[in-house]
Amino acid sequence: MRQKTIIGTRIASLIKAQRLSKAEAARRCQTDVRTISRLMNYENDPNIVTAFNIADGLRTTVDQLFIRR
């Protein structure tokens, strides 16, 4: 069974806090809606480039995407 990572929850929280649609979040993160959805649903983990793009697009840092609080 695949272990869930914190990144899906973190992405969802950031999108909600910034009142973004998945489409707008994807545009800001230089990716597509399918990738955002898969990450939020714990289906994929991002590669390093995607992680940095998501962090930049959602105005956070890579470590904040992965670190539990």
> Residues 10, 68: contact at Cβ < 8 Å?
no
Q: What domains can be seen in the chain, in order of their start residue?
A: 7-66 (1.10.260.40)
Three-class DSSP category at 29: coil
Q: Any alpha helices (H) in 1-69, and if so which ranges?
A: 7-17, 22-28, 33-40, 48-57, 62-66
Mean pLDDT across 26-54: 95
Mean pLDDT across 17-23: 98
> Residues 40, 33: contact at Cβ < 8 Å?
no
Using CB atoms within 10 Å of the CB of residue 46, give its burial: 0 to 12 exposed, 13 to 18 middle, 19+ buried: buried
> What pLDDT score was predicted for residue 1?
39
Mean pLDDT across 25-45: 95
> What pLDDT score was predicted for residue 28?
98
Q: Share the mean pLDDT of the chain.
A: 91
Mean pLDDT across 37-42: 93
- Give the pTM: 0.87
